[in-house]
A and B are shown apart, each in its own frame.
Chain A
Amino acid sequence: GAVVSQHPSRVICKSGTSVKIECRSLDFQATTMFWYRQFPKKSLMLMATSNEGSKATYEQGVEKDKFLINHASLTLSTLTVTSAHPEDSSFYICSARDSRTVNTEAFFGQGTRLTVV
């Protein structure tokens, strides 16, 4: 099946610094990718929809200036957590679908565990 690679899998950063998370579709093109956040033992909450070549669409309550999304190519979307604080510590997951098919399956990255100290 299709593969979505997310990097890094774990990151620890100091409060006030920025962290970039990459999401790559390895064997398919994705005009749209999705970024989710998951708290411990909780569900996945959609943060934003990343659109190739245009601005991301953020869900209500998500600060666009804090969670910067860039989708510069058909295979790469990045999420940058700016000026990170401990409350940003969470598990972040991306997903993508193959743009060339009508297959509805979404493929997920392995996730990134962010810890802000």
Chain B
Amino acid sequence: AQTVTQSQPEMSVQEAETVTLSCTYDTSENNYYLFWYKQPPSRQMILVIRQEAYKQQNATENRFSVNFQKAAKSFSLKISDSQLGDTAMYFCAFMKGGTGTASKLTFGTGTRLQVTL
């Protein structure tokens, strides 16, 4: 079974600053995907960024980037130029590859990020 660990229950960052959220996982799989999801107060889950395990290059999406260390099983999320709208709960998630749309997500416990003025 896979496990996903987020060791930071809460984080705070000032507007325009950079913050890094940590995530580690444990798996014996070699083919898998990793995700960061954002859940704002509306509770709608929003995909922030996705990383395929077979890709060495770290994924980036505008102000969001990841540091994927496969050997260390680490998958941190960096948010640059933080904005008030980034305030949300952030979940790291793991999905086994190779089973198509039947693959389920395993979520970490989440990190609550507060962006302050």
- Give residues in A with beta carbon < 8 Å to B: 30-32, 34, 38, 41-46, 49, 51, 91, 93, 95, 97-99, 102, 104-106, 108, 110-111
Contacts and interface: CB of A to CB of B under 8 A. Distances in A.
Contacts of A108: 44-45
Main secondary structure of the interface of B (DSSP, over half): mixed
Contacts, number: 52
Q: How big is the B interface, by class?
A: 20 to 34
Contacts of B105: 34, 44, 46, 95, 106
Nearest to A110: B44
A94 B91 CA distance: 16
Contacts of B74: none
Given A30-B101, A104-B33, A44 B107 contact: yes
B102 A104 contact: no
B101 A98 contact: yes
B59 interface: no
B48 to A, nearest CB: 11
